[in-house]
Structures are given as C-alpha cells and as structure tokens.
Amino acid sequence: MQRNTLSIGLVALTLLVGGLPTTANAQRSSRYNTHVEGYFIGDFLGEYRLRVDGERQDGDIDLDPTLGGGVRVGFQAGLFAAGLMAEFRGYGNDTYEDRDFAFDFAPFLGFRIPLVESRGTKVRLRGTFPLGFTILKPDEGTFGDTRYYGFNAGALGGIEFVFGSFGFFTDVGLRYHRVYANEELGPFPDVRVSLSWAQLSLNAGMHFEF
C-alpha cells in the first residue's frame, strides 16, 4: 500500500514538474511576438502655423477634425516594442475648400505592460513614440502644385485586448508635423517657408500578432 502511494506521488510530481516549463514557455511566447495593426485616425483641435524665414506669421488657420488611417508593423520583446508605421491624413479648414494630404512614414519605439494574461487572453497598457518623415500634398490654389517635405513626431498611450492572436487597441496622444519649402509658396516667392501643426490624435483599430 505504501509502495503504491509512493508511486502515485512520484507520478504526480513528475507531471507537475513537467508542466512548469510549458507554462513558462507560454508566458514567454505571449511577451515575444511580431504584430500587424490597421487602424483609423481622428485628429482634433490644432492649427496651421506659418513661418517665413523663421518668423511666425499672423493669422493661424484653425484645422477642422482630421480623418485618416494607418498601418503599423512591429515586434514586442518583454516590455519593449518597436516597429514602423505608415499613415495618411486629410486636413481641412474654413479658409479653402480642398483638403491637404499628408503621408507619414515613421519608425517607433514603445512599451507594452501586461495587465492580464490568462488562457490566451492578454490585456496590455501601451505607449508608442514615433519620429519620422512626412510628405505634404497641399491645396493647389493656396500653396501651389508641389509637395513639401518635413518630419513628424508624437507620443501616444492606450490599451490593447488580444484574444489568441487577434485583438483590438486604442490609443490617444499628441501628433506634431512640420514641413518646409525652399521655393515659391503662394504669396511668398523665393523665401524659406515652414508650415507646422499639432493635434490631439485618437487611434483605434485591429491587432494581429504571430
């Protein structure tokens, strides 16, 4: 009887010890992944600020709510995240009818802090900090038929919910843009002109991880 009890105990201990690496590997794999995200963008508030030869001009132009979309490809390693994002936006205002269009390409760094990890369900706090390149295609009637180049930056924070390999996320923060022109720009010929704007940005979309 004692021998049978001892055998059962050894088997149970073996199963328990054998299961520990599996659980650890599952937790490890949930924090090391490659992911793709597609999302909608809504930017609010903000205004165009025009500078000519470094001097800010009067008459800032208030921006209408801005709509757009984006794609992010990245990876997570523990709490650290990094990747590349591509976004587009259409800017409108009361001064002229046609919209300006901006295309952003930006590497980003960030963090992912796990709140819940249970049976394939993951809830994480997230922070994303992009810094990259911007192309602006402005309204032709106001700024001329050309493209202007500059940079974009931002700081975004939010939360993501993942069920297996599929989920959704939302984040909110600040996005800043500045573009430059060294040629004729509407009423300002042959001068160095820059156009900058900052807006509150809200993003929401789908998350896929592998």
Q: Which residue has the tokens 């810094």?
A: 131
User: pLDDT for 47-80, tens place per residue?
Assistant: 777 777 666 666 677 787 888 999 999 999 989 9
What is the structure's pLDDT at 210? 86
Which pLDDT band holds residue 29 (cuts at 50, 70, 90)? very low
Question: Which pLDDT value is given to residue 145?
Answer: 65
Which pLDDT score, from 0 to 100, does residue 172 have?
96
Question: Strands, E, within 92-120: which ranges?
Answer: 100-118
Which position has the token pair 């939302």?
A: 170
Give 102-138 pLDDT, tens digit per residue. Answer: 899 999 999 999 998 888 899 999 999 999 999 988 7
Query: 84, 107 in Cβ contact below 8 A?
Result: yes
Q: Identify the H or E element spanning 12.
A: helix 2-30
Q: Which residues, in sequence order, are CB contacts of 153 under 8 Å at separation 6+?
A: 130, 131, 132, 175, 176
Q: What is the DSSP secondary structure assignment for residue 187, as one 8-state letter?
A: T
Domain boundaries, the chain: 1-30, 34-209
pTM of structure: 0.74
> Does 20 score more than 90 pLDDT?
no
Half-sphere exposure at residue 58, Cβ-oriented, CA atoms within 13 angstroms: 0
Strand partners, 78: none
Residue 164 dihedral angles phi and psi, to the nearest 5°: 75, -110
Fold of 34-209: Porin (2.40.160)
Q: Are 173 and 209 in contact (CB under 8 A)?
A: no
